[in-house]
Amino acid sequence: MPDLPPLIDIGVNLAHDSYDADRDAVIARARAAGVCRMIVTGSDLESSRHAVALARQYPGVLHATAGVHPHHAARLDDAMRTALSPLYADPHVVAVGECGLDYFRNLSPHADQARAFRLQIELAIALRRPLFLHQRDAHAEFVRILREYGAELPPAVAHCFTGTLAEAEECLAMGLHIGITGWICDERRGTHLAEVVRCIPDGRLMLETDGPYLLPRSLRPRPASRRNEPMYLTEICRAVAAARQERVEAVAASTSATAAAFFGLRTARDPAPATPAAATPSG
């Protein structure tokens, strides 16, 4: 791999317990690989609080989302909404979510998923924050709910997009950004994403690992662990560049500029601390 412009990983679950033993080393390896910014995903109250605490430890390197994943939608009651509310006042929180619909696992009833999704869309509108969206096996309903908000809908990214070309085109027509993960590196189920990424214009495409999930299968040599890390974002960038028939440096620069603008980050080349700051309460 050539030296790349600084990369931004727009979605990594660094609050996951698989990183507990070596989280600081994971962040250091990512930075050594050129991943200068990481958005830590919040998917329920606990992980959102943890994401914010991590972002406070690594100001300018880590940022956070705060929200409720559809798996946890049935638990989103008034008490959780009240507990989540202070997090959105924290400047490290750059988006509402991860929120949306998941009809693949159906860990919450569909009605609860739709209710929680609408609540978070309306919160993002009120806060004027971007939306970090999740959708699996629910495209038609996902799009239908988003369309209810029309021009009020804030900037939104379809995180970990794995859908069809037609679905991508529908998302783009609605103004959504699209996040691509190591799914594109999976020769068993991700080859269709080569065509998908070719249809995404500059300014709407972003990259993410979704670690610890979705380790790129194209890595050589293959890592001993199946845990994904943000340092492997370079492999995703390489795969996207190959699919788009573009220079990998150009994809790195474009996707990072898009992510910085979307999340309201400083430019990717701004200096940032290399070591964690003193821990602060997570609020």
Q: For the chain, what are the domain ranges?
A: 7-263
At 8, the pLDDT band (50, 70, 90 cuts) reads: very high
Q: Is the pLDDT of residue 282 over 70?
A: no
User: What is the Cα–Cα distance from 120 to 248, expressed in whole angstroms?
Assistant: 35
Q: What is the reported pLDDT for 3?
A: 86
Sign of the Cα pseudo-torsion (20, 106, 169, 240, in order): positive
Structural element, H or E, at residue 97: strand 93-102
Q: Does domain 7-263 have CATH number 3.90.1150.10?
A: no
Residues in the chain: 283
Contact 102, 137 (CB under 8 A): yes
pTM: 0.95
pLDDT of residue 267: 54
* Token reading at 234: 């370079």
Half-sphere exposure of 281 (CA within 13 A, CB side): 2
pLDDT for 112-136, tens place per residue? 999 999 999 999 999 999 999 999 9
Give the pLDDT of residue 272: 47
Tokens linked to 81: 């909404």
Report whether 197 contacts 241 (CB < 8 A). Answer: no
User: Tokens 């993960």 appear where?
Assistant: 181
**Torsional sign, CA 235, 241, 242, 248:** negative
pLDDT, one tens digit per residue, over 20-54 is: 999 999 999 999 999 999 999 999 999 999 999 99
| Separation between Cα atoms, residue 249 and residue 95, nearest integer Å | 27
pLDDT-based confidence at residue 165 (cuts at 50, 70, 90): very high
Q: Do 179 and 208 contact (CB within 8 A), yes or no?
A: yes
**Which residue pairs from 147-151 have beta carbons closer than 8 angstroms and sit at least 24 positions apart in sequence?**
147/174, 148/118, 149/121, 149/125
pLDDT at position 279, please?
46
| Average pLDDT across the chain, whole number | 94
* pLDDT at position 270: 46
Quote the pLDDT of residue 1. Answer: 62
List of residues 6+ apart from 265 with CB closer than 8 A: 8, 37, 63, 94, 259
